[in-house]
Amino acid sequence: MPSPALPDAQIDAAVRHVETIAPELILAEVEQQKEANRPMLAEMNKDTSFGWLWRPAGMWPTLACISWYVAVRPLLNAALWSFGTAVQIEIGLNMPTFLTIFMTYADLYMGGNTVICAVKKEG
């Protein structure tokens, strides 16, 4: 790696300056994270557990299915093929059915909550 173009004394001074303000920078970052967490906690506390829990409970299995479908299964099939095996891993779900299920979940995730909130406000 090439050496920096700045003189060593200038680099040392910059490092010393950063070391003196590092605690304040860390505290500012912690405070920023606390403020970022506040709206999320308010969202969690204003509704039942199901109101916010169904989204991540659906995201992780969906991510696992997409990973299996797009990456893991093709890699396993390629490995099996490279070993000369005639066995290939088949998926139990065709792409149109999978996409229908995935898009239904995405529609509920993105639009369903908006519709529910709008109905609550009007009713």
- Tens-digit pLDDT profile for residues 59-79: 888 889 889 888 999 999 999
Which pTM does this prediction carry? 0.50
| 54 and 39 co-located in one domain | no
| 20 and 65 co-located in one domain | no
End-to-end CA distance of the chain: 66
Tokens of 68: 């299996």
**Is it the case that residue 10 has pLDDT exceeding 80?**
yes
| 42 and 55 co-located in one domain | no
Domain encompassing residue 12: 1-46
Give the HSE-up count for residue 21: Cα atoms under 13 Å, Cβ half-sphere: 8
| 72 and 19 co-located in one domain | no
| Mean pLDDT of all residues belonging to the chain | 85
| 61 and 5 co-located in one domain | no
Nearest Cα neighbor of 65 from 88, 43, 94 is 94
